Amino acid sequence: MVLPMNSTPSNHGPHVACIMDGNGRWAKRRGLPRTAGHTAGEENLAEVVRIASARGVAYLTVFGFSTENWVRPKAEVRHILSLHKRLFGRIEELNANNVRINWIGRPFDEPGARTPAFVQRAIRQAISDTAANTGMVLTVAFDYGSRAELLRAAQLSISESISGIPITTLNVQSHLYSPELPDVDLLIRTSGESRISNFLLWQISKAKVYFTERSWPDLDANEIDAALALIRQ
């Protein structure tokens, strides 16, 4: 099941995507457990949402949990899952900032999907409780992998072609997890890594890419402004 967006935001700002990397290394440098880094990362995501919304960003898409992350230690995965439940539960704050929640990932009812039921409920509730907001759309990619998304889109397009519907760029795009999302204008990757990591491969074809040495918990307004300058020159 794909959960569609109901409308587009009222502003016409850019689509910014973030690969939120470096939580574990942030914690290690401070002599803290990796879970403390993930907690700090979730707290900073709330701050980044406020900053991006104030800067006129129309769409903010963040890589919350990938299809490959399930192999991490079970205790770490459980902690990350609890943080996502808390993230989707920030309804009062999201509504105060006029932010609407969206989600992309392997559809809950498809083979191979691994989103736990309690996270599914939190996602559905957040989408419902923020549906009337008209500001920035915050899309959380959970149990997401771009190859899985593109494989599914290709399979659906091939299936339709048997009935005479041609395989076109627009047709393939219509089968992405959230086809209403516009192309990404700016991709930000934190923590000094210079790679894309199977994130939004279709949507970033024309995006500017901003790499920073800062870990995700340390990403601040100054760094976000420097990234936005790439597309506002």
**What residues act catalytically?**
21, 69
> Which tokens belong to 149?
């998304």
Residue with tokens 């516009």: 182
Q: Cβ(146)–Cβ(201) under 8 Å?
A: yes
Classify residue 231 as left (phi > 0), alpha (psi -120 to 50) or beta. alpha
Across the chain, which distance is largest between two alpha carbons, in Å?
60
Q: Cβ(224)–Cβ(37) under 8 Å?
A: no
> Which tokens belong to 142?
């959970």
